[in-house]
Amino acid sequence: MHVVAQHTIVDRERFASMDPKEVALGGPPGVRALTFFPSRDLTAAFCLWEAPSVEAVRDYLDPVTAGVAENTYFAIEDSMAIGLPAPAAATTA
């Protein structure tokens, strides 16, 4: 499933010091970051994740971003979405 994490950034300096690739690669098995879109003023960001559940993304990101961002999560309705990347299994050959 695909999950969006919406971040309201409360500590821009700490947020800017975080390496998005490190955060993306540091998740548990089955939780994979696909995209990362920070606003220019670093007050907000959106991330698209592939994960087994919203809770899996929340359980990983909330501790990582504690004190840095307030997060909201939602599952994507894949059948209505435009531009989703192909599932990981379909991209490996």
pLDDT tens digits for range 49-90: 999 999 999 999 999 999 999 999 999 998 899 888 876 654
Residue 37 CA to residue 35 CA, distance in Å, equals 7
pTM for this model (two decimals): 0.86
What pLDDT was estimated at residue 87?
67
The confidence score (pLDDT) of residue 89 equals 57
Q: How many CA atoms lie within 13 A of 37 on its CB side?
A: 9
Q: Which fold has domain 2-77?
A: Alpha-Beta Plaits (3.30.70)
Chain-wide mean pLDDT for the chain?
92
| pLDDT value, residue 45 | 97
